[in-house]
Amino acid sequence: MPLACLTDFQAFARERLPKSTWDFIEGGADDSFTRDDNMAAFKRIRLRPRYLKNVVNVDTRTTIQGEEITAPICISPTGFHCLVWPDGEMSTARAAQAAGVCYITSTFATCALEDIAATAPRGLRWFQLYVHPDRQLSKQLVQRVESLGFKALVITVDVPKLGNRRHDIRNQLDLKLNLLLKDLHSLKERTSIPYFQMSPIDSSICWNDLSWLQSITRLPIILKGILTKEDAELAVKHNVHGIIVSNHGGRQLDGVLASIDALAEVVAAVKGKMEVYLDGGIRTGNDVLKALALGAKCVFLGRPILWGLAYKVASRLQRSIRT
């Protein structure tokens, strides 16, 4: 049966992925209230349609940080794509290039950055950074992504500590023992330090550290995870180039605002001084429209990308069986 919407892809992926993988992708923090509210909040918003407009020729193109994309729908940073599809982030990068949209590659990518860049050389890529306690290691990684042609640096601000994800605890999921994070690992090849022997997130990072990041790169810096007027104003004060309004898909701090409910406050606070994007809960074209109407320059999708990779696995298996 043809899959007609993202909910169909979600159901398809749930049937085919191992339970621990599915729970890792879908799980939220604590009671998962914020995860669910991300979607419910869109349903509370009503449209006020205006008619008798000429829509014969529709152009969905726009720009983000000065780069053109074919539509205001891009790919959020999510890690461990190889859990879902063997080519992992390389397949995601190729798909983004083919679609003409931006792909934010995660620090927790399971493919080497060089391979991701090589497989989609014309694609628009940003890099999401978790600052490592070893600042020299972070500096090397930032310089590496810049040399590979990534066009922006996305700093995730809402993970001073990992969220309390009950499904992963119950499943005793330990990705660290099963996968090496190749981009962090390759920077310390001589000692062969795998992810589970490293502490990859610096919980001490604060606003004053942004000047250090700005000193080591020419890339525009985007902050992902801003939800309030106060933090948006601080982002302007610290001369960052953009904000992704996000609550980490409800995976970090349960009980915060749904992303779409925080959007208007953040947009108003920056007063047009930087671009504002949205991540979290987008499942339909109507959701995209609502985010744009409330001031987002574009939206980013997370979990649906992984559902799509799961569908790719099944499609490849079916073709193999037929041949």
Residues labelled as active-site residues: 248
Residue 295 assigned as binding residue: no
Find out whether 279 is annotated in a ligand binding site.
yes
Residue 165, annotated as binding a ligand: yes
Q: Is 50 among the annotated ligand-binding positions?
A: no
The three-class DSSP label of residue 32 is coil
106 is in an annotated binding site: yes
Q: Please, what is the angle between helix 229-237 and helix 259-270, to 10°? A: 40
Instruction: Compute the distance between CA of residue 62 and CA of residue 104 in angstroms, rounded to an integer.
Output: 17
Q: Is 119 helix (H, G, I), strand (E, B) or coil?
A: helix
User: Is 59 annotated as contributing to ligand binding?
Assistant: no
Q: Tell me which residue of 86, 127, 140, 76 sits closest to 110, measured CA to CA.
A: 86
Q: Say how many CA atoms lie within 13 Å of 167 toward its Cβ.
A: 14
283 annotated to a ligand binding site: yes
**Torsion over CA: 4, 5, 7, 9 (sign):** positive
What is the C-alpha end-to-end distance of the chain, expressed in Å? 20
Q: Does 199 appear as a known binding residue?
A: no
Count helices and strands (H / E) in the chain: 14, 10
* Residue 299: count of CB within 10 angstroms of its CB: 27
**Cβ pair 198, 151 in contact under 8 A:** no
242 is in an annotated binding site: no
Q: Which two tokens stand for residue 102?
A: 């931006």
Task: Tell me if 282 is assigned to a ligand binding site.
Answer: yes
Question: Is 201 a known ligand-binding residue?
Answer: no
272 labeled part of a ligand binding site: no
- Binding site annotation covers 7? no
* Angle formed at CA 267 by CA 261 and CA 270, multiple of 5 degrees: 140
Instruction: Yes or no: say if 312 and 281 are a contact pair by the CB < 8 Å rule.
Output: no
Which tokens hold the place of 249?
């898909």
Residue 151, annotated as binding a ligand: no
Name which of 205, 104, 86 is nearest 145 in CA terms: 104
79 is in an annotated binding site: yes
Number of alpha carbons in the 13 Å side-chain half-sphere of residue 90: 13
Instruction: Tell me the binding residues for FMN.
Output: 77-79, 106, 128, 130, 156, 224, 246, 279-283, 302-303
Instruction: Tell me the binding residues for glyoxylate.
Output: 165, 248, 251
Instruction: Tell me the binding residues.
Output: 77-79, 106, 128, 130, 156, 165, 224, 246, 248, 251, 279-283, 302-303
